Amino acid sequence: MILHLDMDAFFAQVEQMDRPELRGRPVIIGGLGARGVVSTASYEARAFGVHSAMPMTTARRLCPRGVFLPGSYGRYGELSRRIMDCLGDFSPLVEPASIDEAYVDATGLERLFGPLPEMIAAVKARVAEVTGGLTCSVGAAPVKFLAKICSEVNKPDGVFILMPEDVDAFLCALAVDKIPGVGDRMGESLRGYGIDTIAQARRYPQSFYATRWGKWGLAFYERLYGRGSDAVTPEHVMKSESRECTFDADTLDRAQLVRALMSHAERVGASLRRQGVRGRVVTLKVKYADFRLVTRSLTMDVATDVTQTIFEKGCELLDRLAPAFPVRLIGLGVSGIGQRAVQMLLPGTEGRDGRDPAREEKRRRLDGALDALRGKFGREVVQRGLLFRPGKRKAVPGEDGRRDVDSEREGERRAAPFGE
């Protein structure tokens, strides 16, 4: 049996826990600018129709008395790590799916923790203990995608166990858009064929889905009959790390673009260091006011996790691009992680990318000191001069309107390489 643990309105619940005056009030987390989107909403806000990925302007119209917050992502990350660590006390096979959800292989653990309902109760109690009282919902099923569906059945703070003998009846009554991976477009297309439920979808042969949706159509057909992966994989190979933001107003102001790049470099560099990895390829992403999207990349001789180096390479790419039209969105990423080893440079020498090993090491020590301070006192305790804005909590214009797609579902899941 596979468990899928899903925190309840995670970001909003954390804010309500940390600030008791917000309990019982509609709390909405996301970008606060004109182009911001909702990351997550408390259940009080959901009663007004607010949901993740909704434009913030719509959320304000639906819930004018809501409490709108930019989010404390460092705090969310800290609690997420506690949750994942405590799940490891129950099973060696824990697969984080995002910042607020994970799969746990519970097969054969009855001898250690008792029957499945007792184990799930123990898991929920342990999560509440390590987080200071946060609730989660848990689904259990023979395969992963069914466990994910089951975790939604009795939200919030609920449990739903689907035994193997009940899978067929459970699926037949289910709407097709409940299957993970079925988006609005596919759902609309299926309804065009008169398919609303899985029972109706089973009337069509495998070839019907393969012809229209290719490999995903074949996977979708398998899921119609409850067939899917039951492999819980504890480790994932990290391919890239990136951040991006959408500005409140389109801009050609290079200073504003550079400040955004520094903010992104800080987040990307910190994430790389936290995970103990480095990358060789830096990629700049720019979306213009007319929604044209361009990317530019460069490859360094030696992999890095240094904030200043990532920032400088991002600025170099920006200068090469020399945007001639107003910019709507700018992003910065690092990839080439886990590639084959490269020759390290000797002290006093510079690579083709112009980096001096001694200077790089000084920068790495500075990053380590900043990481330690922020880990102890919070992200705002110290800022680089380029980002400092007296009296402002947010350092980068446009960051309040970021569309990092840091939704409750996506959270701070590692972004895919640009262009994928």
State the catalytic residues. 101
369-390 burial, b if ≥16 CB within 10 A, otherwise e?
ebeeebeeeebeeebbeebeee
Pairing of strands 240-251, 101-105: unpaired
Amino acid identity, position 336: G
In whole angstroms, how far apart are CA 187 and each of 172, 183, 210, 372?
16, 6, 16, 47
Which tokens sit at 125?
A: 């109690």
| DSSP per-residue codes, 258-282 | HHHHHHHHHHHHHHHHHHT--EEEE
Strands 27-30 and 159-161: unpaired
Q: What is the dihedral of CA 13, 80, 339, 320, to 10 degrees?
A: 30
3-state secondary structure (DSSP) of residue 168: helix
- Nearest alpha carbon to residue 53 among 177, 163, 184: 184
List Cα–Cα distances, 317 to 243, 266, 333, in angstroms: 16, 17, 12
Q: What is the C-alpha to C-alpha distance for residues 139 and 116, in angstroms, rounded to an integer?
A: 11
Nearest to 177 by CA among 211, 224, 218, 213: 224
Dist CA 352 CA 346 (whole Å): 13
- Give the list of residues 6+ apart from residue 126 with CB closer than 8 angstroms, or none: 86, 89, 90
Tell me the longest C-alpha to C-alpha distance in the chain: 70
Name the β-bridge partners of 329. Answer: 246, 287
Strand 2-7 relative to strand 136-141, pairing: antiparallel
State the Cα–Cα distance between residues 329 and 403, nearest whole angstrom.
9
